[in-house]
Amino acid sequence: MTNFEDIRPYNDDEVKPTIKRLLNDAGFIDTISAFKLAGKPKWLRNLLRPLVKQRLNKELGAINSVKDVQTLCEKYVHRVIETTTTKLSFSGLEKLSADRPYFFISNHRDIVMDPALVNFALYHHGLETPQLAIGDNLLQKPFVSDLMRLNKSFIVKRSAAGVREKLQAFTDLSSYIHHAHSNGNSTWIAQKEGRAKDGVDSTDPAIIKMLYMSQRKSGLSFSEYMNWLQIVPVSLSYEYNPCDLAISEELHQKRSTGSYQKTEGEDIRSITTGITGLKGDVHVAFGTPLAGNLDDAETVATKIDEQVMQEYRFHDSNHIAAELISTEAQTLRDHPLSKQKQAEFMARLDSCDEKMKDIFLAMYANPVLRRLENPPS
């Protein structure tokens, strides 16, 4: 037994028992049925449920290891990419080596697709995929936790209540990440707890402080430890956010009333929409590992933000939105705007309620506007 039994990913010897548990979980079967038969009436989904379970038994019955799980997940991610993106590209992978672990920290635009695309890129570049940090707020059902931990995920206890409990949760998380890296495993985490719903990507210094919490008595300075982790900023850019209308509504309510109350099952709907919705062109940019004087969390966060912003790949959707807000944004565009892309974006904008169109536009424009305000040095 280790100190991480309740948060670590599952090992190979736990794969078979976990799959058996999943196949006997009615909630899991119902969720997969709804996903595979999306758009079909409920009565038909219920009718076909035994066939879905039979197919799952056959598909998952051949899974014996975590590597097998990763191979199966790659197939599903590949299918999602083929059906929801028009183009997927990567950059910066040549900076990475197969002989050492990294700490990947990315901007956060989609709950599932962000780490899935990071994994997909590394997998197809012949590099070991990282272990993934996932908040326990998304693990409302036991089968979801089982699924994620099968796929090299470790749990971040965001639901911890009280100062002492939160401090212990952060310390355990810090210790686990150190443990993973000491054993040659890369890890991934989002740069802040929630998605960047307004299109402004910024790293929460608290995440950086957490990394060092378990190492204060190690003899390594903060800067030495940050260098040891080999922090790699990752910048993900989606041409379209499948959840853009829902996010605009949420941000409008917060602006109008000061708060927003999630409805039951909203996180699951966001996850499903993010996976199945149109994303257009997508780019994943891997930055340069941070090195040098990394003396405090704010410095590290700033360096991550600089790379995420500078490596962000603008799409026509970003340019169109930015130029509707500021004519100066044209200076950052090096090509004519596609008439087709303009028509596509304006159709999405027209489907947005008038009172929240400014929020919708800002979501797409902010990456360009921030670059305009912070040109490369």
Within-domain flag for 181: yes
For 333-377, what is each residue's pLDDT tens digit?
A: 999 999 999 999 999 999 999 999 999 999 999 999 999 998 876
pLDDT value at residue 37 = 78
Max CA pair span of the chain: 63
As a whole number of angstroms, the distance between CA 249 and CA 251 comes to 6
As a whole number of angstroms, the distance between CA 90 and CA 364 comes to 20
Residue 101 sits in a domain of what CATH number?
3.40.1130
* Whether the Cβ atoms of residue 304 and residue 310 lie closer than 8 Å to each other: no
pLDDT value at residue 301 = 98
pLDDT value at residue 142 = 85
Which residues span the domain enclosing 37? 12-313
Greater confidence (233 vs 267) lies with 233
Within-domain flag for 324: no
Tell me the pTM.
0.93
pLDDT value at residue 2 = 60
Within-domain flag for 352: no
Handedness of CA 158, 156, 245, 375 (dihedral sign): positive
For 68-118, what is each residue's pLDDT tens digit?
A: 999 999 999 999 999 999 999 999 999 999 999 999 999 999 999 999 999
pLDDT value at residue 234 = 98
Within-domain flag for 361: no
- In the chain, the percentage of residues whose pLDDT exceeds 70 is 99
pLDDT value at residue 39 = 73
pLDDT value at residue 42 = 81
Within-domain flag for 328: no
Would you put residue 210 in left (φ > 0), alpha (ψ -120 to 50) or beta?
Answer: alpha
pLDDT value at residue 377 = 67
pLDDT value at residue 333 = 95
pLDDT value at residue 1 = 41
For 286-338, what is each residue's pLDDT tens digit?
A: 999 999 999 999 999 999 999 999 999 999 999 999 999 999 999 999 999 99
Within-domain flag for 295: yes
Number of domains in the chain: 1
pLDDT value at residue 211 = 97
pLDDT value at residue 69 = 95
Within-domain flag for 142: yes
For 12-53, what is each residue's pLDDT tens digit?
A: 999 999 999 999 998 888 878 877 777 788 888 788 888 988
For 205-228, what is each residue's pLDDT tens digit?
A: 999 999 999 999 899 999 999 999
* Whether the Cβ atoms of residue 309 and residue 237 lie closer than 8 Å to each other: no
Least confident of 41-45, 170-174, 260-264, 273-277: 41-45
Within-domain flag for 230: yes
- Answer yes or no: is pLDDT of 7 > 90: yes
Around 266, how many Cα atoms within 13 Å sit in the side-chain half-sphere? 10
* Whether the Cβ atoms of residue 369 and residue 326 lie closer than 8 Å to each other: yes
- Answer yes or no: is pLDDT of 174 > 60: yes
Look at residue 232 and give its three-state secondary structure: strand
Q: Which of 208, 136, 201, 193 is nearest to 165 (CA)?
A: 136
Handedness of CA 70, 76, 80, 83 (dihedral sign): positive
pLDDT value at residue 224 = 97
Least confident of 64-73, 131-140, 195-204, 356-365: 131-140
* Whether the Cβ atoms of residue 152 and residue 131 lie closer than 8 Å to each other: yes
Kind plus residue range of the DSSP H or E element containing 351: none
